[in-house]
A and B are shown apart, each in its own frame.
Chain A
């Protein structure tokens, strides 16, 4: 890769944030020496990230339909949306995996204690009201 070929395709970085996150690429200059060039991103990588997220959002939509149909609880929907799995959520909340899987069913979702509900909401970085709805 040459210095003038370093890609600058920004899709995710905010230009005004104070930390200024950047990639840094090693590229050859005209004398065949490596130079370090900051970069804001590259299209294939951005596409890969977008594809993974798009797919995740489709799964979340599918889960939302199941919640509306009464087959799953709002917790299941928010877990898909926030990339959570029962083992990881169990780690953050201290609630057992088995219990979390149980809470993904609407019948048991109604029985969650207030304390557990706020711990779950906290780990998903949303409020309790958001956790109990699917909007």
Chain B
């Protein structure tokens, strides 16, 4: 059994699953538009929340929130399930699947067999879509692959019950009803963008939003003292991986969000947003410049000559620029142009 589901490649797994699911129900939206509507750009650096024993740096909101925000905005009813018992989780998946409904799953990548070995660490916020079953194999539409794929039931069960930071516990989600569906309007985009700006600018804690980048810069200066030379470089490697690892469209969603601003600017007929889009794209280039310089720390000979202050200063510039861009974006919505 295979559902007639159009598989399309995407930059980010969750956006991709949401877009492909909506596409299945006849809602045609681009990936940047999904990111924008889901307020999917963010920054946080949390020394108290650990991944691999190091501070978690994230460029996106909590997994699942893009799907929830987009469907809520468009008035689409969705259903989430979580299970304690793996066998029940698989039974429920079959039940929903055989009613011709594609199902989204949150999985861990540690045991995901088709990933390259180097990518398989304890990261539990990968999303994929199950679109069919043949014998003991599930047909998977993983948006970061160019083609559809197959996965044995036992392997799927293993990745649905991955362990580590925020385990998925068999999370599954699907669209229940399109009865109250509303097509995209200008108000929806404005509201979602205001939410993004508010997340990036007004959370009254230092580690979240655009000012969080400066906070990370401050922490970065202390890394060598806290963790030693090797520990500091490992922390840096983790930041780069979160920034560039498969699924951000480059530079932690900055380019993708710039593409959203361009598309939304045309939709709303606001030429000012194209200017903001170009500036955000430049900030993306600054992030790439940061990564490029950071990579020199991983080579022993060059690493000895560089200091973390130099990198931290680059981050501070980025923090200032992002704060400015998002304030201008917020003002432009409040003024209505």
Contacts and interface: CB of A to CB of B under 8 A. Distances in A.
Interface stretch (B60-68, B75-83, B217-225, B230-238): B230-238
Contact of A47 (B31, B121, B278, B295): B295
Contacts of A53: 118
B249 A51 contact: no
A71 interface: no
Nearest to A125: B111
Interface string A17-54: 11111111111100011101011001111011111110
A1 interface: yes
A43 B295 contact: yes
B241 A52 contact: yes
B11 interface: yes
B115 A24 contact: no
Interface string B276-299: 011001001100100110110011
Given A21-B115, A49-B119, A34 B146 contact: no
Contacts of A27: 250, 255
Given A23-B250, A44-B244, A45-B291, A12 B256 contact: no
A34 B274 CA distance: 11
A88 B11 contact: no
Main secondary structure, interface of A, reads mixed
B144 interface: yes
B107 to A, nearest CB: 14
A91 interface: yes
A49 B122 contact: no
A55 B244 contact: no
B114 A17 contact: yes
B163 interface: yes
Contacts of A92: 163
Nearest to B238: A52
A51 B146 contact: no
Contacts of B281: 1, 28
Contacts of B255: 1, 25-27, 34
Interface in B1-45: 9-11, 31-32
A21 B258 contact: no
Given A24-B9, A44-B295, A38 B146 contact: yes
A14 B11 contact: no
A47 B163 CA distance: 26
Given A38-B9, A51-B298, A52-B234, A88 B122 contact: yes
Nearest to A58: B230
A20 B7 CA distance: 13
A126 interface: no
B147 A49 contact: no
Contacts of B111: 125
Contact of B298 (A21, A34, A47, A91): A47
Interface string A86-105: 01100110000000000000
B183 interface: no
26 contacts: A13-B116, A20-B146, A21-B116, A21-B144, A21-B146, A22-B145, A23-B247, A24-B11, A25-B255, A27-B250, A27-B255, A34-B263, A34-B277, A36-B11, A38-B146, A39-B250, A42-B244, A42-B291, A44-B291, A44-B292, A45-B240, A45-B245, A48-B237, A55-B234, A83-B122, A88-B163
Given A18-B147, A36-B11, A38-B9, 5 more contacts: A17-B114, A24-B9, A25-B249, A44-B295, A45-B291
4 tightest A-B contacts by CB?
A: A91-B163, A44-B295, A24-B11, A20-B146
